[in-house]
Structure 1
Amino acid sequence: MDAAVVVPAYNERTAVVRALDALADQGAAVVVVVGGDDGTEAAARDHPATDRVVRDAAEDGPAAARNRGARAASAEVVCFTDADTVVPPGWVARHLSHYHDDRVVGVGGPLRPLDGSRTDEVLFKLLSDYWYRVSWPVGFVQASGNNCSYRREAFLAAGGFDESLPFMEDTDCSLRMRARGRLVYDPHAWVHTSVRRQREEGYGGLFLRYAVGYARYALGRDPGEGYFRDW
């Protein structure tokens, strides 16, 4: 079984190099979907881990960028991570190990803070691991866009990430994928990701935003009201 990794990168020239360094020995094709004008495209093209660069001329958000990357890939399984995220050795293999079960259509894992403090580590453990361990078994699956994978054909048949959603498009995708098979939460398939959003907005503000977003989503409304449009 083969895999591809899709990395959306908008003005992430410095961060994307670190992300690609971690993907170099994963045994998967790497597709970087680039936007912006800070030299991210050149950095991605020059990196030996990169197999393909897709220029995102529309620059209409991470959901659209991930979908473009998935369409450009040809592997049976597509893994998704972000330019500000660093995966550990064996991350792709960890995801692939679950697809030996033909019922499995998707896999998600927890997040850990990249260059974070002890407080970040504790809060990430609570909000990006323990919360998932509780919510996934009852059907509220939330595979984070920077640490998830799907069977490519099933993902594309389901429409991929909803490009009209500026926020929670990853949760929406994983919930829709439940109709096509089994989704697995693997607590050992972790990644390290940037804490810059937590620094900018604070954990309290982000928690409130997500709580409101979940409520709006449950009511069939736009969960973000334009939030995260500029990716």
Structure 2
Amino acid sequence: MDISVIIPTYNEEKYIETCLKSLECQDFPGNYEVIVSDGSSTDGTVDIAGRHADRVIVDRKDTIAYGRQAGAHAAKYSILAFTDADTYIPSDWLSNLAASLEDCRVVGAHGKLLPLDGNRIENDFCNYVLPPYSQFMVNINKPSVPGSNFAVRRKAFNKVRGFNTKLVTAEDVDLCNRIKKLGKFVYNPDAVVYVSTRRVREWGYLKMLSFYTSNTIKYHTKGTAGKLFEPIR
């Protein structure tokens, strides 16, 4: 099993090197490549990515879904793994995602998120609230997938034509809820990614919880998602 890791970026010079350096230390025994799909950054993102990634694609500024899609189209391996620029990736991430996909019936898997720079409240929320929620959503066949930590089979991705590039938010959830029709989708809490809390710091707990709760309900009931998601840099 070989894996292509895809990272969409736009003006991420503060974070991208940490992410890419962590991906250089994976214990995964198979082949893997790291693709940075950049939306015409105006800072040093592309230069930094060029020193660490296997391939850097620069395209027009568009939705994050467009960036993920462009990266996926450039990928060469049979498994597509997705993460974000403001993350730190433990060395066993790819191995754990791959373990979930050893079953040929499984078409996709997502892992657990932990805060990269969180306080005790945020750590406890991610350790004790999000995992049972994630498992519950998978159990009812409505995976609530984080864009910074999931993988799908390329064949399944191609069959559903990949991401809906018009979506500003919930592009990850939308993709995986279409792919799940082709097989089994699983949650693996051992596949951990540490994510920046910059949006929590900017928005606060109430706005953050309100947005993601309403967006999840909106997507699963109406098939739509929020169109406003200002960048936090």
Residue 54 of structure 1 pairs with residue 57 of structure 2: yes
Q: Aligned to 2:218, what secondary structure does the other structure show?
A: helix
Aligned residue type for 1:183: F
Which stretches in structure 2 are left out of the alignment for 5+ residues? none
Residues 125-184 of structure 1, C-alpha deviations (whole Å, 9 max, x = no match) = 345322112221111211211000011121122121211211111111111111011111
Equivalent pairs: percent with the same residue? 35
Aligned CA-pair RMSD: 1.6
**2:156 alignment partner in structure 1:** 154
**2:47 alignment partner in structure 1:** 42
**1:11 alignment partner in structure 2:** 11
2:22, 2:91 within 8 Å by CA — same for their partners in 1?
A: yes
- C-alpha deviation, 1:198, in angstroms: 0.9
In the superposition, relative to structure 1, how do residues 14 and 230 fare at CA in structure 2: closer, same or farther (>3 Å)?
closer
In the superposition, relative to structure 1, how do residues 221 and 142 fare at CA in structure 2: closer, same or farther (>3 Å)?
closer
2:145, 2:172 within 8 Å by CA — same for their partners in 1?
A: yes
In the superposition, relative to structure 1, how do residues 132 and 219 fare at CA in structure 2: closer, same or farther (>3 Å)?
closer
Aligned residue type for 1:10: Y
**1:163 alignment partner in structure 2:** 165
1:61, 1:229 within 8 Å by CA — same for their partners in 2?
A: no
Aligned residue type for 1:34: D
**1:213 alignment partner in structure 2:** 215
- Give the ranges of 4+ consecutive aligned residues of structure 1 lying more than 6 Å apart after TM superposition: none
Query: Quick one: distance in 1 between partners of 2:159 and 2:69?
Result: 12
Residues 98-132 of structure 1, C-alpha deviations (whole Å, 9 max, x = no match) = 22211111010110000111111012234532211
Residue 70 of structure 1 pairs with residue 77 of structure 2: no
Number of corresponding residues? 227
**1:108 alignment partner in structure 2:** 110
2:63, 2:166 within 8 Å by CA — same for their partners in 1?
A: no
TM-score for the superposition, normalised by structure 1: 0.93
TM-score for the superposition, normalised by structure 2: 0.92
In the superposition, relative to structure 1, how do residues 97 and 220 fare at CA in structure 2: closer, same or farther (>3 Å)?
same
**2:91 alignment partner in structure 1:** 89
Deviating more after overlay: 22-31 vs 180-189: 22-31
2:34 aligns with one of 30, 40, 53: 30
Residues 78-114 of structure 1, C-alpha deviations (whole Å, 9 max, x = no match) = 1100110111012111111122211111010110000
Deviating more after overlay: 25-34 vs 121-130: 121-130
Query: Quick one: distance in 1 between partners of 2:74 and 2:230?
Result: 23
Aligned residue type for 1:43: I
Which stretches in structure 1 are left out of the alignment for 5+ residues? none
Query: Quick one: distance in 2 between partners of 1:32 and 1:205?
Result: 30
In the superposition, relative to structure 1, how do residues 7 and 114 fare at CA in structure 2: closer, same or farther (>3 Å)?
same
Query: Quick one: distance in 1 between partners of 2:210 and 2:43?
Result: 32
In the superposition, relative to structure 1, how do residues 155 and 127 fare at CA in structure 2: closer, same or farther (>3 Å)?
farther
1:133 aligns with one of 110, 132, 135: 135
1:60, 1:229 within 8 Å by CA — same for their partners in 2?
A: no
- C-alpha deviation, 1:189, in angstroms: 0.6
Deviating more after overlay: 69-78 vs 196-205: 196-205
Query: Quick one: distance in 1 between partners of 2:187 and 2:148?
Result: 14
1:166, 1:229 within 8 Å by CA — same for their partners in 2?
A: no
Query: Quick one: distance in 2 between partners of 1:186 and 1:161?
Result: 22
**2:122 alignment partner in structure 1:** 120
